[in-house]
Structure 1
């Protein structure tokens, strides 16, 4: 029910929910009343329509507590967002082909400010985003080939990688670079840079990406990239990663 409301993006009536769930009204009313009482849903007193309540939001925020290092990453993301007036995302990988955004830092209305928010869409395709490529590019050859065999390389724009062989080579090239990039692959006119943070297991545990706006010059991009790589090294060191 909550999934249906989230996908609809608007409050829904009992009739609409019943049709979507294929449940009769009598049964549905009992469930709706329980969900409202427990704050999973909210009922508009005027229209009688239902929307997502506070409890799912609280649960979603609690998901971040699985990753105690996220606060360290948030602190670094805030600095980058403020300095460059750009959006910075932090996320983790969910096999086989998704990346989950845990927090987004966006520039405030005043210069040099930033605010944390949690986007309604937190689930993105790994193959078309710099954040997802952070995790894929650091897999070994066996892991990567296995992942690509089960991954849906859906074309989202004309620039999205859909050929597994070409994408494999692209990811190996990114591994050598030590960072990832996205160039109009998830959405037209969107370019991003990404880095992966490793822990003592020598595996990437979280990623950070910066969304570049059209006003960012190549010189700016180079400096931002240097700062991102520095953040990657500092955070990875703090999490116990040691590079041979």
Structure 2
């Protein structure tokens, strides 16, 4: 068991640092270099690591792709996020949704309700506009500029409330901030009285594949409360991302 644990440590260090030498690995794990050499040799036999001969250092090998491909087909963002969303809903007391892009809309694919949100609207399966929702802004902010303009060209910028952003330039400015901050707060942009906070969910390659949001009535989820729960929302989105294989 000790050897297995050390071998996993080696893989995690290589994933974090890239190319690493035997001496550095030994120091990281706290064992003799000969022990690390034996571990690397065993991992190399299974193509889980490989040596960069020109530098004499080791890096992750292509054998890991066989394992990751076997797992990736089984990973579903709703399945991996369910428990995390339920915990977050209990923690913040509001409705938690996971949403993905479908055509030029956002579709909510899973929902968990907190103790204060019983009887709230069920958003699962509903198509909502990208530009007027917190989840939509997360997805838009992490698209390429060309893809974003194409999607918005098809969708348009319909006004839903007096707070809905209908200027493309203003929306682009907001999305730049969203991409930099790693979260967004949306207040009464889709419906009067509805506020939401969202953060990105990433896959194993670092691509944003979904958004995790917390929504609730403005009288409970006002601006101060929304900012207070940002760390919890971001942490939950990161936790789901890690389950999808994202290294961070």
TM-score, length-scaled by structure 1: 0.63
User: Kindly tell me: are residues 235 and 106 of structure 1, through their superposed partners in 2, closer, same or farther at Cα, counting changes over 3 Å?
Assistant: closer
Query: Contact (CA 8 Å) 2:105, 2:130: kept in 1 or not?
Result: yes
Query: Contact (CA 8 Å) 1:105, 1:117: kept in 2 or not?
Result: no
Q: CA RMSD in A?
A: 2.8
The match for 1:100 is: 107
For 1:172 and 1:241, how far apart are their aligned partners in 2?
22
2:237 is the counterpart of 1:232: yes
For 1:163 and 1:217, how far apart are their aligned partners in 2?
25
Query: Could you report, residue by residue, the CA deviation over 1:61-111 in whole angstroms, capped at 9, with x for unpaired residues?
Result: xxxx9972312212111112112221111111112x2111112222347xx
Query: Contact (CA 8 Å) 2:198, 2:211: kept in 1 or not?
Result: yes
Larger radius of gyration: 2
For 1:115 and 1:147, how far apart are their aligned partners in 2?
33
The match for 2:201 is: 197
SS in structure 2 at match of 1:205? strand
The Cα of 1:140 is off from its aligned counterpart by 2.2
For 1:183 and 1:105, how far apart are their aligned partners in 2?
20
The match for 2:227 is: 222
TM-score, length-scaled by structure 2: 0.62
For 1:67 and 1:92, how far apart are their aligned partners in 2?
15
Query: Contact (CA 8 Å) 1:106, 1:117: kept in 2 or not?
Result: no
Q: How many residues are treated as equivalent by the alignment? A: 175
Give the counterpart of 1:179 among 159, 180, 183.
Answer: 183
- Gapped regions of structure 2 (runs ≥ 5): 1-72
